[in-house]
Amino acid sequence: MGTKKESLNQTQNGSNENNQTSAGNTTETMFNENNSTMEKNLNGEDAKQQSEMTAPETNGTQQTGEAASSGSDLASSADANGDSGEREEDYSDFDFDSEAFEEKNAAEVEDIKSFKLDRKKIYTLSILLGLGYEIGLLGINRKINKNALAKKVQSIKTSKGLISPVLVVTAKKCIEHGLEVYVKGKKVNADASNLEKILVIIDGQHRIQAINTINKKQKKDGNQLYDAYVYLPLNEDIDIKTLLRETNVATQPWKGGDYLVSILMSDDENINKDMISWVHTISGKCGDTAAWLWATMDKSRVYSKAKLIEASKKPEVLKDVANTRCFKEGKALYEKATITLSEDLTKLKVVPTWFIDKKAELIDADYPMSKIMDMLLDFIDNLAPIEVNHIKGLKKDENFSKDAKIRKALDDLWAEKNKANSKKTSNVSKSSAKK
């Protein structure tokens, strides 16, 4: 155990000197009525950081410092169309490494076997790891935004540690509510024996990942490691899905795409969420707006954040948003276009818009939908690499935007290839007539 006593429950700045009460042999940090134990006194650079990163008030208490730098770990800005502009390469998998922490024994816990986490207390993560606890993540929320991570790393360094603890719930609770849990990239089975000792992050995965990143270098350089701190929800009765949604909304609004997570967690089994799930999947590759355009094949069905918020609360709105009337066609076009045109082009809003306009043009010309799909898919198939590279290399100039040039290039290729197809059809008809 060692001679130095380690406190299992501490304030978030690592101090166990203030606001503590004794319960048996376990030192506890209690939340008082005004949450004073959740606040860190900053000075110097920390104070500057606090003044620069003040978030809107939540229940009368301002979020400050590192926690407010991005509000929730999921939050980020979006444009008027709900398109974040973020791509797959902007994200990485959450990768918690317990070895980045110096696991400590909880010397003050008399009976480790009977130890259980309590609400209204903050726990030192390194000690929990020493007690056999693990960190998990929800399956729908396993991606880390690289830009947000970099900001967290800098914030933690500036503040010389975490300012706010990480909100967690047990894997048992999550699985009971129908949510998938992952530990080190592997799905946790519902019958696992250690569900109570897997702490699933609800808010704070970027903070934990940032601590990992910092500690790996600290360890390599022989410097002191940072610690992290966790706590359970204050409200014991809150539904996990509601907790996830409200935690990430209260501090700073989600972007439009984040509300897809909330929708996907809804319990309404009468609504087909296949298209929404697909949009959520590909939005990381091509952005929210392009994802909706491909999925719906309808320029009027690019849903704003406000619309998705409404859909997450009203089943009748969700039913309209989730309508899959053109999803099969849009998905097929996207998958083929991604292979032939590459993601560099399919992520541009002008490309799905061009296919939508071309589809409408063919409908106006009285082509049946089956024929239209054949024509559009054949067009993609017949694009040569040199033609694709030409489109990819187009740039704006003083006369035309990049989008305008791409549209013209696609129009020209369409006209050229359909003229060639018409000649082939005509020759085949003539040959058949001679026979």
**Residue-wise pLDDT tens digits, 144-199:** 888 889 989 998 998 888 888 999 999 998 898 888 899 988 999 999 999 999 99
The full set of domain ranges for the chain reads 20-255, 262-434
End-to-end CA distance of the chain: give it in Å, rounded. Answer: 96
- pLDDT the model gives residue 33: 30
Tell the burial category of 217 from Cβ atoms under 10 Å away from its Cβ (0-12, 13-18, 19+): exposed
Nearest residue to 38 via CA among 70, 9, 63: 63
Q: Which pLDDT score, from 0 to 100, does residue 77 have?
A: 34
Q: How far apart are CA 329 and CA 287, in angstroms?
A: 19
Residues 6+ positions from 239 with CB-CB distance below 8 Å:
177
- Report the 10 Å Cβ neighbour count for 276: 26
What's the CA gap between 46 and 42, in Å, rounded? 5
pTM score, whole prediction: 0.51
Residue 30 is predicted with a pLDDT of: 31
Q: Which two tokens stand for residue 287?
A: 């952005």
Model confidence band, residue 257 (pLDDT cutoffs 50, 70, 90):
low
Taking the C-alpha atoms of 69, 73, 79 and 83 in order, what is their torsion angle to the nearest 10 degrees?
A: 160
Neighbours of 348 (CB within 10 A): 20
Number of H helices, E strands in the chain: 18, 13
- What's the CA gap between 30 and 64, in Å, rounded? 20
Q: How confident is the model at residue 57 (pLDDT cuts 50, 70, 90)?
A: very low
Q: Are 205 and 93 in contact, with CB atoms under 8 Å apart? A: no
Which of 5-14, 238-247, 291-300: highest mean pLDDT?
A: 291-300
Tokens 């024929």: give the residue: 371
Amino acid identity at 37: T
The letter for the amino acid at 358 is K
Q: Any alpha helices (H) in 251-368, and if so which ranges?
A: 258-264, 274-286, 288-296, 305-313, 315-321, 327-340, 343-346, 350-364
- What is the per-residue pLDDT for 258? 60
- What's residue 259's pLDDT? 66
Q: Report which of residues 28 and 149 the model is more confident about.
A: 149
Q: Beta strands of 54-174 (E only): which ranges? A: 57-58, 61-62, 91-93, 123-124, 134-138, 143-145, 166-170
Backbone angles phi, psi at 63, to 5 degrees: -90, 130
DSSP strand pairing (134-138 vs 198-203): parallel
